[in-house]
Amino acid sequence: MRYFTPELIARGQVKDHDLLDRHEEEWDRACERYEATLQAVLPHMPPGLKQIQESYYLHDARVLSMGRRGSALVLVLHLDTPPQSILSFTYDLISEPQIVEEALPAEARFVWSPPLWLYNEIEQVTGASDGWREHLLLSNGWEITISFRDVKVEEFDAILPAHVNGAIQQAAAASAS
């Protein structure tokens, strides 16, 4: 079941305060339902996926790159949250990733380079290809659906400052000194 959708995100891009309040309530209800579902499947998750769910807050992470090699899909992220680590996720794919480049209406997209990770939703898939499916929405309007067995996670300390829309974001290590 899909709890988060591009349409739900788009409905929140209004200036009317009453509509925004209703949208926030709808979003909060979706979050509560999704969290309950996620907690029910957490014990069944493969190690890498469980590590991501228990260790990282991915909202607003910058998606630095995405690439393929054989049955692997690699995503490289720069977290928005301290200590602003760099993560690489290497998915063991079950099938080809699906990308819908205009899932989010143009008026609801964020002009941000590199694109931001808006939300992801995980679901367990049972049947001929048991595994997991992740729906990921990026600020550029892309919705990526990834079907996979597990995901390898690597975390790196950021050394080089990240350039975001022309501004330099200081790495956590540099700002701590």
Distance CA 118, CA 3 (A): 14
Q: In b/e form, how buried is each residue of 27-39, taking b as 16+ CB within 10 angstroms? A: beebeeebeebee
Q: Which of 18-32, 99-113, 157-171 has the lowest mean pLDDT?
A: 157-171
Range of the domain at 133: 46-176
Asked whether residue 31 is assigned to any structural domain, the reply reads no
pLDDT digit string, tens, across residues 9-28: 777 776 777 777 787 888 78
Asked whether residue 6 is assigned to any structural domain, the reply reads no
Asked whether residue 105 is assigned to any structural domain, the reply reads yes
User: Number of folded domains in the chain?
Assistant: 1
Distance CA 149, CA 129 (A): 9
pLDDT digit string, tens, across residues 19-55: 777 878 887 888 898 899 999 999 999 999 999 999 9
DSSP calls for 105-116: -GGG----SSPB
